[in-house]
Structure 1
Amino acid sequence: MSELPLKRKGDHWDAKTGYECAYEAIKPRQRRKRDSQSGLKIDTSLECDSLEDIYGWEEQAATPYGSAYFSPLESKLEMSPLSHTATDPTDDLLNSPSYETDIDGSPRPNQQVARRGSFARVLSPTRSLPPELAMIAPCPVASPALEFCMPAFSEFSNRPNRRALVDHFCNVLSHLIVFREESGNPFQQLVLPLSHSSSPVMNAIYALASAHLEYRGVQNTEKSLYFHNEAIQGLAKVIQNQGKVNKNELLAAVMLLVYYELVQRRPTNIIYGHLKGAFAIMCLNQDVLTPVGLFLERAFGFYDVIAALSLGTPPLSTAPSAGGLLPVPPLDAPPASPLTNVDTLLGMATTLWPIMHRLSNLLFTKKELEDAQQTNQVSKVAVLRTEFEATSQAIEAALTQWKPCLPPNISIRDDVLVVKGVEGEEIPEMARLQSILHNALAYRHSAFVYLYRTIYGYSPKHKLVQHHAHAALLHCAETTAARGPMSALLWPLFAAACEAIGAEDRELAKKAFSEIEQRQGMTNIQEAWGIIQEVWKRLDSLDDDAAMGTNSDLWRNVCAEMGVTIVFG
């Protein structure tokens, strides 16, 4: 599980509206009549602001990246069970009127949503979904225990356009951002039910689905920006509320807002602010994790590492132990599934993630060492050099020894999965498994590229850099060729493509970017490709190896000059 805009120096700035962004104090809003067929007036002052006002965390200079705490929420977080009731049938989707507000407290499902067919016809009278939006990875098994009333998704809203957004979230988006869903999609099973009692979660779902459609040229009668602002305001009100707060509802809303920033907006430090808020929430309550809590924490753990690699900042979370991460399966996954050992969000890279976490912290350690050297802090230099060299060597050794954790009865032969003991036999899930394997191997080789280029400062022409960049690009291309999950592929593809100096490797990168942009439909993929092309132009102008070596973060220089900050996903 697609996004790349502008990081301006100084105040936050919204590139779409041209307004300076600042949250105002939350004020009671008067209801106003909205024309469902016309554009909405959006309060752009609520676009981005310092998220400290919402989350309540503050920077502390005593630590490298600041410690986070969550004073407004202390003693309020709780784990509350969700209750769900049945609802009566309502009118037909196309004939149903557009109400000013949704029915408050309308019951929503607590089971998997796997309804087929798109309701995009209600989004706009003149636009329809492009064919690529129908390219989803369908869930093989639908829920046998739940029958929805008609019109479809009426449990969520009386408005046809909003029901269409829920449909898009369930039947398109949720399939694009997970690796495993043989018994159901975790976003449908775990996140969607939280919208029953949480308007921020519901509005964040609307915002994400609407933004994904807008990127593809499909306009809803209500803009994604409107839903985003509603979700942000609702989140602020929940945190400021004196009552008890459901931790998982907060985390789910924040997670969806992170995805929203990646899909449509130009993410800057807003994503980093959301992550800090999420980890502040998680640190305050150490209750035994429920399935939804475990899933959300795994998602934030992934983005924490990706953000650290993107921004050059240390991760907010502590490094998991080597055996501390186990694959998270969907609910009710069969114990003998061919997808056993495949994590819903990390695929076959679960055991690689502790290594990736330590790798993401190395650039910060390197910068600390260089600062100490420039200021002649001899004792500090000695300590940091020892730490830096020991950690980098340990990471290199761990990457060399790492192997993906395969499902039972499956082995690898020349990077191809085979059923043990039976020559030529395949299982129905083999193509999906092959794609997931190539995704994990792409991460491993791109981690080497990051280590040798960014950390060690090798030239792009160095044989180790080229070997691993070529291997990573091959695995990215194989991931897309197998037509399996392409979620989380942007970072390894980008890291390897930055060092592509030959025509073959650049063609592999071009093809892979085209495939995942068409499949995922997220802005950061398209803009990452733009950065890559500029990096290639500059690499071609640097004939001297020494000059290449001094530009170990050439892509960061390009981003800085273009005023963008890439946060991968």
Structure 2
Amino acid sequence: MVPRSGSVNPELAMIAPCPTESPLLGFCPPLFSEFSDRPNRRALMDHFCNVLSHLIVFREESGNPFQQLVLPLTRKSSPVMNAIYALASAHLEYRGVGNTEKSFYFHNEAVQGLARVIEHNGKVNRNEILAAIMLLVYYEVLVQRGRSNIVAGHLKGALTIMCTNPESSDPTSAFLERAFRFYDVIAALSNGTAPLSAAPAPGCLQPFPPLGAPAASPLCNIDTLLGMATTLWPIIHRLSDMLSLKSELEQAVQANDASSKIAVLRTEFESTTDAIETALSQWRPHLPLHFIPDGQGTKPAHSLDDITANILDRQGSHPPSPSGRSHIHSILHNALAYRHSSLVYLHRTIRARPRSHPAVQRHAHLSLAHCAATVQHAGPMGALLWPLFVAACEAVSPEDRELAGQAFAAVEKRQGMMNIGRAWEIVHEVWRRADEAEVFSRSFLDLGHDDGVKDADLWRQVSRDMGVSIVFG
């Protein structure tokens, strides 16, 4: 089991070594006093700025986007303010740090305030409402209250706001829509449902930088929320829609629908699955300028060799520092973990291949190795849970399970969020049931047990049995 922290880990205080000034009116003592005259609320804002906001982005060399773009919205929006308080308070509560006002109080205030704004405000401020909704999504993902579809409800609300209000090209809107795209896909993969939005066209997602980031930065190819997976995301988006298509095909077969309809669905399913597998197999990250991955001392070193062929011309930028190289390596391994876990998901969940299938085990091992390398380089870990969980559920060998355990422990220590500990509990139970099924199938071969078809989504059954619904964001 990953131990749950009983107090704030002192290492968290080192994530942001420079104190953050209040963003609205400039620094005025006491720090964050322009937000509230209550010390406990100022402490929550301090925690959001100096700890939490740094845990959920990949890139902030010129500033943190949550501080630059979301925090100023609190000046006119109490729902945004209360959503920030709720998120920061819940993050501290999970670590055992109490507050005179509980996170659920701020959550209720944010939800009620948001409803009033939408109902009574004739001219809706798109960014304020979208920011409040997305912060509430982060809150629900962190809190993980039983089997709930609240995240899906919030995402539908965000999509409604984006569709019914004129599009805005300002950085705040672009950043919030990028956050929506991330959670739309992650929620679909977590819940086995279709994403709400349409898949972006290949090449249309450009890396979103922090405000003021230099064009020649070593991180210029890294997205604030997607890391190096910007060009991978359209493929993962299509993958997240495949389970609903598979279910539609299975229902048509069970209902004995017209053979022509079944043939069309089967052709679409098989051709799309093949296309996604090809795209995932051929995908390579677009590496930053002047960066050549060394792969030394990491398990997946051999899988980095073919990446260097895709490095573009490195004119006009300075090489990253040693600490910067480690940071970039961590982001690179995170993206590669997504690629290999996507292939695990495709073979296991979509194609329903057995856990022992060579493709499942190969990609699960590579993903776990990349997860371990991500935490080894001590870079961003805020988006690592989904690929880590998917690969860990299929781990069979002691070596792979050890990699999974090390990665989970490091991510939980760094991020300190409830969904990480819950995910680790599910992985352990999946291992226990899968091991029992393996012993059973060996003992009773005449029963024709196949661990591929019946438990391709064993973790979903475990989640239901445990009464939890996890969004792996």
> Do the structures match in fold with TM over 0.5?
yes
Which residue of the other structure, out of 530, 533, 541, is the alignment partner of 2:428? 533
1:430-463 alpha-carbon deviations (Å, 9 max, x no partner)? 1110000000000000000000000011111111
Q: Match for residue 379 of structure 2?
A: 484
Q: CA deviation at 1:141?
A: 10
Q: Match for residue 493 of structure 1?
A: 388
The answer to whether the 8 Å contact 2:53/2:67 transfers is yes
Are 2:48 and 1:153 aligned? no
CA distance in 1, matches of 2:406, 2:232: 26
CA distance in 1, matches of 2:277, 2:8: 46
1:273-321 alpha-carbon deviations (Å, 9 max, x no partner)? 0000000110112423210000000000000000110111000000000
Q: How does 1:88-487 map to 2 (within 5 A)?
A: 129-138=8-17, 147-266=26-145, 268-377=148-257, 378-412=259-293, 414=301, 415=304, 427-428=321-322, 429-487=324-382
Aligned CA distance change for structure 1 residues 340 and 547 (closer, same or farther; 3 Å): same
Q: CA deviation at 1:266?
A: 1.6
Q: Match for residue 567 of structure 1?
A: 471
CA distance in 2, matches of 1:148, 1:177: 24
The answer to whether the 8 Å contact 1:139/1:183 transfers is no
1:507-548 alpha-carbon deviations (Å, 9 max, x no partner)? 000011111111101100000000000000011112249421
Which range is displaced more, 558-567 or 505-514?
Answer: 558-567
CA distance in 2, matches of 1:141, 1:434: 26
CA distance in 2, matches of 1:368, 1:334: 47
The answer to whether the 8 Å contact 1:137/1:484 transfers is no
Q: Secondary structure at the match of 1:351?
A: coil
Aligned CA distance change for structure 1 residues 177 and 376 (closer, same or farther; 3 Å): same
Amino acid aligned to 1:172: V
Long gaps (5+) in structure 2: 1-5, 295-300, 443-448
CA distance in 2, matches of 1:549, 1:128: 42
1:12-64 alpha-carbon deviations (Å, 9 max, x no partner)? xxxxxxxxxxxxxxxxxxxxxxxxxxxxxxxxxxxxxxxxxxxxxxxxxxxxx
Amino acid aligned to 2:407: A
Are 2:397 and 1:516 aligned? no
Amino acid aligned to 2:86: A
Q: Match for residue 553 of structure 1?
A: 457
Q: CA deviation at 1:139?
A: 6.8
Aligned CA distance change for structure 1 residues 144 and 205 (closer, same or farther; 3 Å): closer
Amino acid aligned to 2:249: L
Which structure 1 residue ranges, 4+ long, deviate > 6 Å from structure 2? 139-146, 416-421
Q: CA deviation at 1:565?
A: 1.3
Q: Secondary structure at the match of 1:549?
A: coil
Q: CA deviation at 1:146?
A: 7.7
The answer to whether the 8 Å contact 2:340/2:364 transfers is yes
Amino acid aligned to 2:450: A
Q: Match for residue 297 of structure 2?
A: none
Amino acid aligned to 1:565: S
Q: CA deviation at 1:137?
A: 4.9
Q: CA deviation at 1:563?
A: 1.6
Amino acid aligned to 2:33: S
The answer to whether the 8 Å contact 1:263/1:521 transfers is no
Which range is displaced more, 316-325 or 278-287?
Answer: 278-287
Q: Secondary structure at the match of 2:292?
A: strand
Q: Secondary structure at the match of 1:536?
A: helix
Q: Match for residue 30 of structure 1?
A: none
CA distance in 1, matches of 2:432, 2:416: 26
Q: CA deviation at 1:145?
A: 11
Q: TM-score, normalised by structure 1?
A: 0.74
Long gaps (5+) in structure 1: 1-126
Q: TM-score, normalised by structure 2?
A: 0.89
The answer to whether the 8 Å contact 2:144/2:470 transfers is no
Amino acid aligned to 2:356: K
Q: Secondary structure at the match of 1:346?
A: coil
CA distance in 2, matches of 1:265, 1:153: 29
Amino acid aligned to 1:283: C
CA distance in 1, matches of 2:231, 2:20: 28
CA distance in 2, matches of 1:493, 1:371: 31
CA distance in 1, matches of 2:16, 2:260: 56
Aligned CA distance change for structure 1 residues 254 and 549 (closer, same or farther; 3 Å): same
CA distance in 1, matches of 2:263, 2:112: 49
The answer to whether the 8 Å contact 1:132/1:518 transfers is no
The answer to whether the 8 Å contact 1:180/1:339 transfers is yes
Aligned-residue sequence identity (percent) comes to 65
CA distance in 2, matches of 1:137, 1:398: 37
How many aligned positions are there? 441
Q: Match for residue 446 of structure 2?
A: none
CA distance in 2, matches of 1:237, 1:308: 29
Which range is displaced more, 363-372 or 536-545?
Answer: 536-545
CA distance in 2, matches of 1:178, 1:281: 24
Q: CA deviation at 1:427?
A: 2.2
Q: CA deviation at 1:135?
A: 4.3
